């Protein structure tokens, strides 16, 4: 499956792409399919009640990730990129009060969130750690239709029947699908990508853009890429203006605004500490992830849990690097999307599937490659930057305290951004030759994720999630 830049970078809502956006998208799709008569022998007029069950990681950390809220909003037909937070809160409250789903094309449908939204803490469904089932009933509470969906990271969903077809980790499949679609540079591995760049004389960003232009006009493509950057920049700005506690009960305080104020005050110091650039990187990432934790609008990059890394490094490039430009921003994003697509296809970007190495690790690899490209790095240096960043996140677990995308997730994005900049800098000091190819590192990440215990993969059953302060 060809992954467009707009698949890797999607505008959505926090706190989790796989646990919030995915279930919302699944519920929307289920209702759309019912309305369109895609379930044999079932019409929208036959349906009187709907229900949902969440399984695996969606059950264990679903409440902390607002999966229940996402399902309700999805049943109401609301998509992540259309969500108005204030309106959504009102609609959700009305469903809890009236116990009814009202959606165009249907009579009012019975739905009691307490009884019809089940968190199943048994074994996960067989296809993926993030599984859910949706049901439709008719007169006499007779089941009319059911569908199983898997949320596979980054807001992507597949049905059970699509799972084997769409979840392939064979690079040949990615290459052949791009060839069939007429993409001029159908790379399925980083090695392919480097070889094509050498033959064509093009950069990774130029090859990625050429592939995208098969399906989109250049004007539409560049407008969309610019919108991604504007949205990321706006999320940072919103996060820098807010303080107070984040929702969820951990009483975690927003810190980005106060840190920024102290850094600005320190500018008058004749000898500011040289490591303050790291503070700015952490600050930008934390601003994004505090917004995400509060359920605000963010850009998956490639997921919500890792949404702060790429925007932070982009902001660092634009505001702190001499000679930065808007064209450099585009080069950064095209390059990062190319690397993210390789990681997603050949391994995973899902914390429930492979731990946080697949989320913050992937984001750091994308950000490192993007920054290296924007600063004029060669294709070989770019591949090296991505490998360095990913390599030094291998084995990182996903253990969110109380199932919330707050501890350790917010700070972890800041450190991921710092690693990304360091990786880009190291690669630029070399000529691109290095011992461990990116493809091998991606394969290692996938194998490590498969060996990782389930309690360390977004279930909040191990690690920091269970080692809490006693007071």
Alpha-carbon distance of 399 to 19, in angstroms, equals 14
Query: How far is it, in rounded angstroms, from Cα 225 to Cα 216?
Result: 12
Q: Write down the domain spans for the chain.
A: 17-166, 171-465
* Contact call for residues 301 and 21 (beta carbons, < 8 A): no
The first and second tokens of residue 405, run together, are 């995308």
Read off the tokens for 329. 């921003």
DSSP assignment of 219-241? HHHHHHHHHHHHHHHHHHHHHHH
To which H or E segment does residue 86 belong?
A: helix 85-98
Tell me if domain 17-166 and domain 171-465 are identical in fold.
Answer: no
| Cα–Cα distance for residue pair 335/8, rounded to 1 Å | 11
Nearest CA to 215 out of 44, 439, 31, 3 is that of 3
Q: For residues 333 and 236, what is the distance between their CA atoms, to the nearest angstrom? A: 17
Whole-angstrom distance, CA of residue 59 vs CA of residue 74: 17
First-to-last C-alpha distance (Å) of the chain: 49
Q: Indicate the pTM of the whole model.
A: 0.94
- For residues 397 and 355, is the Cβ–Cβ distance under 8 A? yes
Q: Which CATH architecture has domain 171-465?
A: Orthogonal Bundle (1.10)
- CA separation for the pair 255, 341 (Å, rounded): 32
Given this model, what pLDDT does residue 167 score?
61
Cα distance between residue 377 and residue 373, in whole Å: 5
pLDDT at residue 168 in the model: 63
Inter-residue contact 298 to 304 (CB < 8 Å): yes
How do the pLDDT tens digits run along the chain, 471 residues long? 678 999 999 999 999 999 999 999 999 999 999 999 999 999 999 999 999 999 999 999 999 999 999 999 999 999 998 888 778 889 999 999 999 999 999 999 999 999 999 999 999 999 999 999 999 999 999 999 999 999 999 999 999 888 766 566 777 777 787 887 899 999 999 999 999 999 999 999 999 999 999 999 999 999 999 999 999 999 999 999 999 999 999 999 999 999 999 999 888 776 778 889 999 999 999 999 999 999 999 999 999 999 999 999 999 999 999 999 999 999 999 999 999 999 999 999 999 999 999 999 999 999 999 999 999 999 999 999 999 999 999 999 999 999 999 999 999 999 999 999 999 999 999 999 999 999 999 999 999 999 999 999 999 999 999 998 875
pLDDT value for 87: 87
Structure tokens at 171: 């690079």
Cβ proximity of 167 and 152 under 8 Å: yes
What distance in Å separates the CA atoms of residue 268 and residue 106, rounded to the nearest whole number? Answer: 63
Task: For 368, list phi and psi in degrees, rounded to 5.
Answer: -65, -45
Q: What six digits make up the tokens of 320?
A: 């702190």
- Residues facing 146 on adjacent strands: 135
Are the beta carbons of 208 and 5 closer than 8 angstroms? yes
Architecture of domain 17-166: 2-Layer Sandwich (3.30)
Instruction: Yes or no: say if 460 and 400 are a contact pair by the CB < 8 Å rule.
Output: yes
| pLDDT the model gives residue 277 | 92
pLDDT value for 471: 55
- pLDDT given at position 66: 93
Contact 177, 4 (CB under 8 A): no
Cα(204)–Cα(177) distance, rounded to whole angstroms?
Answer: 19
Q: What is the pLDDT of residue 243?
A: 95
């Amino acid at each position: 499956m060809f992954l467009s830049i707009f698949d890797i970078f999607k505008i959505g809502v926090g706190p989790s792409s796989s646990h919030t956006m995915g279930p919302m998208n699944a519920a929307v799709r289920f209702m759309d399919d019912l309305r369109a008569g895609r379930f044999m022998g079932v019409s929208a007029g036959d349906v009187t009640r709907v229900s949902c069950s969440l399984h695996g990681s969606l059950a264990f950390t679903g409440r902390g990730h607002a999966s229940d809220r996402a399902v309700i909003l999805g049943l109401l037909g609301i998509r992540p990129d259309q969500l108005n937070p204030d309106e959504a809160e009102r609609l959700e409250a009305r469903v809890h009060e009236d116990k009814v789903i009202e959606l165009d094309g249907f009579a009012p449908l019975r739905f009691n969130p307490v009884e019809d939204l089940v968190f199943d803490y048994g074994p996960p469904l067989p296809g993926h750690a993030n599984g859910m089932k949706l049901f439709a009933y008719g007169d006499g509470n007779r089941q009319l239709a059911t569908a199983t969906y898997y949320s596979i990271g980054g807001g992507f969903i597949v049905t059970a029947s699509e799972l084997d077809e769409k979840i392939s980790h064979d690079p040949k499949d990615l290459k052949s699908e791009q060839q069939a679609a007429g993409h001029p540079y159908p790379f399925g591995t980083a090695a392919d990508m480097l070889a094509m760049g050498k033959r064509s004389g093009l950069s990774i960003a130029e090859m990625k853009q050429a592939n995208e232009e098969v399906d989109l006009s250049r004007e539409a493509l560049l407008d969309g890429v610019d919108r991604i950057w504007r949205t990321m920049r706006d999320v940072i700005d919103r996060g820098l203006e807010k303080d107070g506690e984040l929702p969820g009960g951990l009483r975690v305080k927003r810190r980005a605004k106060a840190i920024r104020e102290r850094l600005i005050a320190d500018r008058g110091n004749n000898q500011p500490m040289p490591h303050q650039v790291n503070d700015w990187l952490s600050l930008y990432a934390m601003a994004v992830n505090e917004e995400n934790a509060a359920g605000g609008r963010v850009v998956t990059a490639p997921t919500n849990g890792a949404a702060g890394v790429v925007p932070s490094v982009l902001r660092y490039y634009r505001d702190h690097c001499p000679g930065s430009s808007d064209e450099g921003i585009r080069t950064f994003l095209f390059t990062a999307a190319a690397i993210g697509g390789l990681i997603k296809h050949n391994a995973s970007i899902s914390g429930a599937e492979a731990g946080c190495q697949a989320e913050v690790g992937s984001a750091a690899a994308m950000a490192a490659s993007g920054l290296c490209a924007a600063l004029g790095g060669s294709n070989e240096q770019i591949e090296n930057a991505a490998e360095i960043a990913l390599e030094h996140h291998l084995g990182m677990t996903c253990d969110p305290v109380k199932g919330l995308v707050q501890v350790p997730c917010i700070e972890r994005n800041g450190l991921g951004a710092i690693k990304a900049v360091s990786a880009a800098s190291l690669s630029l000091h070399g000529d691109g030759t290095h011992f461990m190819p990116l493809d091998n590192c991606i394969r290692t990440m996938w194998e490590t994720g498969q060996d990782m215990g389930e309690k360390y993969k977004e279930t909040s059953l191990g690690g920091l999630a269970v080692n809490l302060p006693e007071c």
